[in-house]
Structure 1
Amino acid sequence: METQTATNQVTAKSGFYPRALYTYSGTHFLNDLVTTGMVPALVVMYKDAFALSYTESTLIVLISYLTSAISQPIFGMMSDRKPRVWFFSAGLFLSVTGLALTAIAPNLFWLLIFIAISGLGSGIFHPEASRGTHFASGKKKGLAQSIFQVGGNAGQAFGPLMIPLFLVYTGIDGLIWLLPIAFLSLFLTVPLLKWMKTSVQNYQGKKNELPGENHVWGSILLIVVILLRSWCQVGVVIFLPFYLSHLTLQQSELLNFIFVGAGALGTFFGGVLADKIGMKRLMVGSMMLATPFALLLPYVDGWLTVIMLLFFGFNVLSSFSVSVIYMQMLLPKNLALASGLSIGFGIGAGGIGSVLLGGISDIIGVTTVFTILSILPLIGAILAIFLPNEKKLGF
């Protein structure tokens, strides 16, 4: 009865549903805290615990991101064909549980199995959560998507902080305390499922009446741009502690927090700015601006490192929420698939690049990796110039 009343209130407010929106943002925070936030940051601890090489260490990130990247478009297509709103609850539960079980992994094989479960859960969670955000946004799609993505980016930012604040004292064994949180997440997500099912059914009934057509080539180009941005972001989070080896683990993870935290701010303000200057201009301009700070990062020290990370993170992730809305405009008939491609495949596949960068680090050093990372935003900005103009997309 409560859910139905809320649904009626939402309709009366032109579809804007704050309660659902902040639930999606909060669950996005938790999901990305344990996956894209903690997993890359934990590589240093996993490396020591299992005596791994750089390449083996980045294989952990590869499995996490690859399972998420492959599964998100698949689950997105499944949801587009038939409503499966329970993916929202099940996905978050698996993502947290998988990482918690790494505390009892006896060897690298089982560690990768549990990491894969966590990544798969993230892949199940994202398409439904992002599509639900679309339904809860009403006419405020830019603001809503920014709030949702800020939740995820904040989780990524706080993930590295879990190391110096908690895990540095407990070791990997402390991850088992995430298990109760996994069960508590069900109390946060399950009450929203009835409203989600009603919203999806209404959307399915009006699907053929939606304006616009799918733009396949534009979608592929956007995926490449997101992929380059992701390689840069994930690469910095993984290799910054190795590059700044003269610092303590707590200090380097604090710098990671500054980088991703600045990205969370960039995500919000980027969405607001895109409403004024356009999504394409925002995407091209923000990655262009990120390039000089990325280039200077390996050559500065002390407080200048903090300044460079602040501006680097803010600019490189300013287009985060914008890219999701852009993909939904390019694929208006398949919202869950669009979410899976932009959040999952494009971003998650960044783990593939991390393995390549790990191999380069083993051969010629970590410094070279940062040189490679610094030019990725520039390449992405150049490619983004050729994206379809959003003003010509009917949505």
Structure 2
Amino acid sequence: MTTKSAAKKETGQSLPLQEPQAKGTVFAILIAISFVHLFNDSIQSVIPAIFPILKESMNLNYTQIGWISFAINFTASIMQPVIGLFSDKRPTPAILPIGMGFTLTGMLLLAYAPDYKAVLLAVIFVGLGSAAFHPEGSRVSHMAAGSRRGLAQSIFQVGGNAGQSLAPMLTSWIFIPLGQFGAIWFTGIAAAGIVVQSFIARWYGNVLRTEGFARKKAVARRIKPEVRNRIMFAMIVLILLVFVRSWYSTSVGSYYAFYLMEVFKMPLADAQLYIFLFLGAGALGTFFGGPLADRFGKRNMIFLSMVLAAPLALLLPYANQFWTAILLPIIGFIMLSSFSITVVYAQMLVPGKIGTVSGLITGLAFGLGGVGALVLGNWIDKLGITNIMFLCGFLPLLGILTFLLPTDKTLNRWAEENGAEV
């Protein structure tokens, strides 16, 4: 009996399926998956971009707007971990173009939606498309990363954040002149996404066939109960930090334009430009955050992204129009610099479950943001938008909880003790 067989018999355990690793960093695939992430999230950003149009044309209140945001984000949140768990057990490249097909269907429905219920159905389709894309997209990024996982995840995530940053500009360029029917243009983007996804899926399938998908179980030592408990606690803390960051970002992305219009009497197009500054700077922060985390540590960057943004977020409600334009992009750059890092950190925390963990973290980023949007919309209707924007400024202070997370060195030690690869 071999050592592996003996160990397996002794422990009675097996590790999760191991993903094949591409040799070296495959930048062509990373750039392609980043572009598709841009397509996916720019389409998803249509939903908040069209809020002002829907609010006026369908006479919606803030709570109803919150329900629309909740519908798309919660759909993506629930389904991402499910798809990630499935793909960890059975990688399926075809999920990538199929998911974009759901997105195309959602945008077609949105363009012709005659009422509020039809809008909710349309955004659920878009949410399902996003849920299908993110876990498998993150896996492709992981497979193409080689040894540069922080950089690879940043390249992947910067496409998504860049797509989200387009939301305010879409309002100005498309929805103000064309109204709700402007959503029809994004069916073309979805169709282009299906073409690129088909190319990526072909590469993905070739890697699975060439490298082989190891269904043999690797040997693992039994994880000590105290370590397992610490891993579970760390995941809960990380999810809480994702929730805080997502809630603050949602408060700016979904409602801050209304705040600017009320406080500074801005026209909608000008208010959307300010939101673009926040989200566009956040996309840049996402790109630079990964390489910085590779050098200075992932936990350190998660902590700095929250704590450094906190005093600026507290100052923002007191800023005049000029300083608001200065503070918003700085806050966006700092806070969203940890967007990709939290995904890589979670993958280190639970190695071997790339799809499940990525779906859990990125799914929660959208889903918890949807919960936040729903709650904020209800509070704004009751307390006023100025008061709620002031209260949101305190959210980044919770970044101090990052000190409860284990260090990168501790995560590497746990992985070595349990025979896993991070």
The residue that corresponds to 1:33 in the other structure is 42
Residues 310-335 of structure 1 deviation map (CA, whole Å, 9 limit, x = unaligned): 11101111100100100111121210
Q: CA deviation at 1:296?
A: 1.2
- Cα distance in 1 for residues equivalent to 2:200 and 2:73: 27
Q: CA deviation at 1:184?
A: 2.6
The residue that corresponds to 1:317 in the other structure is 336
- Cα distance in 2 for residues equivalent to 1:203 and 1:298: 55
The residue that corresponds to 2:257 in the other structure is 241
Q: Which amino acid aligns with 1:285?
A: L
Q: Is the 8 A contact 1:58 1:358 kept in 2?
A: yes
Q: CA deviation at 1:343?
A: 0.9
The residue that corresponds to 1:382 in the other structure is 400
- Partner SS for 1:317: helix
When Rg is computed on C-alpha atoms for both structures, the one with the higher figure is 2
Residues 208-241 of structure 1 deviation map (CA, whole Å, 9 limit, x = unaligned): 4388977333222211111111011011111111
The residue that corresponds to 1:47 in the other structure is 55
Q: Which amino acid aligns with 2:31?
A: Y
Pick which of 69-78 and 206-215 moved more: 206-215
- Cα distance in 2 for residues equivalent to 1:40 and 1:363: 21
Q: How does 1:1-395 map to 2 (within 5 A)?
A: 14-35=23-44, 37-200=45-208, 202=211, 204-205=213-214, 208-209=217-218, 215-245=231-261, 246-379=265-398, 381-393=399-411, 394=415, 395=422
Q: CA deviation at 1:257?
A: 0.6
Q: Is the 8 A contact 1:43 1:58 kept in 2?
A: no
- Cα distance in 1 for residues equivalent to 2:365 and 2:43: 19
Pick which of 51-60 and 217-226 moved more: 217-226
Q: CA deviation at 1:200?
A: 4.5
- Cα distance in 2 for residues equivalent to 1:208 and 1:311: 47
- Cα distance in 2 for residues equivalent to 1:186 and 1:110: 24
Structure 1 residues 204 and 390, CA gap change in structure 2 (3 angstroms): farther
Q: Which amino acid aligns with 1:68?
A: A
Q: Which amino acid aligns with 2:409?
A: K
The residue that corresponds to 1:6 in the other structure is none
Unaligned 5+ runs, structure 2: 1-20, 416-421
How many residue pairs get aligned? The number is 382
Q: Which amino acid aligns with 2:161?
A: N
Residues 343-389 of structure 1 deviation map (CA, whole Å, 9 limit, x = unaligned): 1123332111111111110111011221222111111x122111121
Structure 1 residues 211 and 197, CA gap change in structure 2 (3 angstroms): farther
Structure 1 residues 390 and 210, CA gap change in structure 2 (3 angstroms): farther
Q: Give the TM-score of the pair, scaled to structure 2.
A: 0.87
Pick which of 209-218 and 61-70 moved more: 209-218
Q: Is the 8 A contact 2:97 2:195 kept in 1?
A: no
- Cα distance in 1 for residues equivalent to 2:257 and 2:288: 28
Q: CA deviation at 1:179?
A: 1.9
Q: Is the 8 A contact 2:165 2:280 kept in 1?
A: yes
Q: CA deviation at 1:207?
A: 7.4
The residue that corresponds to 1:3 in the other structure is none
Unaligned 5+ runs, structure 1: 1-9
- Cα distance in 1 for residues equivalent to 2:88 and 2:144: 17
Residues 139-177 of structure 1 deviation map (CA, whole Å, 9 limit, x = unaligned): 111111111111000001112211111221111111112
Q: CA deviation at 1:287?
A: 0.5
Structure 1 residues 289 and 51, CA gap change in structure 2 (3 angstroms): same
- Cα distance in 2 for residues equivalent to 1:151 and 1:340: 17
- Cα distance in 2 for residues equivalent to 1:79 and 1:34: 24
Q: Give the TM-score of the pair, scaled to structure 1.
A: 0.92
Residues 6-54 of structure 1 deviation map (CA, whole Å, 9 limit, x = unaligned): xxxx95xx3321111111100000111111x221222111111111111
Q: Is the 8 A contact 2:104 2:191 kept in 1?
A: no
Q: Which amino acid aligns with 1:341?
A: L
- Cα distance in 1 for residues equivalent to 2:347 and 2:220: 12
Q: Is the 8 A contact 2:84 2:359 kept in 1?
A: yes
Pick which of 190-199 and 288-297 moved more: 190-199
Q: Which amino acid aligns with 1:390?
A: D
Q: Which amino acid aligns with 1:279?
A: K
Q: Is the 8 A contact 2:75 2:124 kept in 1?
A: yes
- Cα distance in 2 for residues equivalent to 1:59 and 1:200: 40
The residue that corresponds to 1:7 in the other structure is none
Pick which of 314-323 and 193-202 moved more: 193-202
